[in-house]
Chain A
Amino acid sequence: MVNSYDLIIIGGGPAGLSAAIYGGRAKLKTLVINKGTIGGLADTTREIVNYPGYIQVSGPDLMKDFQKHAKHFNVEFLKEEVISVDFSQEDKLIKTKKGKEFSAKAVIVACGSEPRILNIPGEKTLRGSGVAYCATCDAEFFEGEDVVVVGSGDQAIEEGMYITKFARKVTVIVLHDEGILDCNKVSAERAFNNGKMEFIWNSTIEEVLGKENVEGVKIKNIKTGTSSQLICQGIFFFVGMIPSTHFLKDSGLEIEKSGYIPANDRMETNLEGIYAVGDNRVKYLRQVVSAAGDGATAAVAAERYIAELKDFNANILKNDKKILLLFFNVLINESLEFSTLLERLISENGDEYKIFKVDMATKKHLAGKYEIGKVPAVVVLDKGNVIKRLDCSMDKEKLKSQLF
């Protein structure tokens, strides 16, 4: 049996949990499917100092608050991995790894990202034997040793500084020219003043060296092309994240080569009823606060979409009368004038037809469903089936002849 919901959110990070709060509050039957621990990437952050209302909070604590808030609004949670979807019908289908199936009127994709793997020799084979991706987890294993950090973003530099609490020395391998780091200025300044941190500029890693354990790295200077070796016992990779959107590859959802999903300011994707938020979409700022904003926006957009869908199914598709779907746009005067004309014509000629006005600006999915390009436009429905499209003439007689 398929369990059906109004709204299913794939992913339980800040974006997904915020969407859940808004969905639950709007009384949508809402399910969050999340494969790991709740909180996503934020759950791995030791310290968050820029989420409004919290001067300093740990990622896990903040995410627990988010989840508690969502549960307060009766949101359901399921710990599972989504492996395939079918977004081609009005009821969207979702399948999990354990074979459970769910359907939803709307789906919010909020499954976040995962660390990028460079796929250089030694990276995979020496994982856990000196190759690491998480400072909180593994920094203590390198007490008094030499560690290399690859990358210069917020995560690389901040985690790098955390590692200096244990390691003898942390050498940061940076792609850019001397003095340029990708991270925020405060962290950059702190890193430059940290006596245990050193930097190698214009460089990247070619290979992790060692048999049983990491013994060193091969560094390539991208400006001169020369390679050198550096002895170390550990190497931490912080070379960015890639969106975990691969399971959506064949869903018909538009996904960029980089894995990000393009979405508009309502988080709508190219498929109706499907929204992309947080680290899954193409955007400028990737923070907890902006992820939360995305989640709220998507849930409200989904709520309106579901309301329209229900309204449409109840009033239009099951109506006994013939329905005239009249598409208009307040900015196009001709469509307003036509609307007045059509309404007068129908009211003068009995009750065979009922007019249902569709504002193109807000009900885009209906315009899409009936392939309406410009306004005014009229589609005639009988029991939900399209029986005619009108030529929207301003000549009353011409118009009348098409209907009566």
Chain B
Amino acid sequence: MSLQELDANRFEEIIYDNCEPCLVIFRRKTCHVCKEVVPILEELQPQYEGKFGFYYVDAEEVKSLLQRFSLKGVPQILFFNEGEYRGKLAGKIEEETIEEKIAEVLGA
């Protein structure tokens, strides 16, 4: 199942208004590492249905967010819960690492 895209407004809504526990991957169309990481998220997503949100943003479309989180590079997965930023994972990330991070975010 493909991830839902967030624009800058939806990002504010989901993260800060709804305070949803979720991850957001910042990716670009031309990034080959993103092409490896995004499918991992797409496969993980169904397991967390209703418990943890999976979203993506196009790094080229949301330059303001890049600055806010001082992101320099893609892919990066940012984690949120209760309207708070809970850390990030950068580069070529393995499935296990993502699952551990989700568990940590949900457990905290």
**Chain A residues proximal to chain B, CB less than 8 Å:** 35-37, 43-44, 79, 97, 127-134, 136-138, 140-142, 212-214, 233-234
Contacts and interface: CB of A to CB of B under 8 A. Distances in A.
A31 to B, nearest CB: 19
B32 A130 contact: no
Nearest to A145: B72
Interface string B34-72: 111001000000000000000000001000001000111
Contact of B73 (A35, A43, A97, A128): A128
Given A128-B88, A129-B90, A134 B72 contact: no
A137 B32 contact: yes
B63 to A, nearest CB: 10
B91 A129 contact: no
Contact of B72 (A35, A43, A44, A130): A130
Nearest to A98: B43
Given A36-B36, A128-B91, A129-B90, A141 B73 contact: yes
A214 B60 CA distance: 21
Nearest to B43: A98
B33 A137 contact: yes
Nearest to A128: B90
16 contacts: A36-B35, A37-B35, A43-B32, A79-B39, A128-B71, A128-B72, A128-B74, A128-B90, A129-B73, A134-B32, A137-B28, A137-B31, A137-B75, A141-B71, A213-B70, A214-B72
A270 B71 CA distance: 47
A129 B39 CA distance: 23
A212 B67 CA distance: 12
Number of contact residues on B: which range applies? 20 to 34
A236 to B, nearest CB: 10
Nearest to A125: B90
A122 B21 CA distance: 29
Nearest to A138: B73
Contacts of A37: 32, 35-36
Given A37-B32, A129-B70, 7 more contacts: A44-B32, A127-B91, A128-B71, A130-B73, A132-B72, A134-B33, A137-B34
A231 to B, nearest CB: 15
A78 B60 CA distance: 31
A403 B41 CA distance: 68
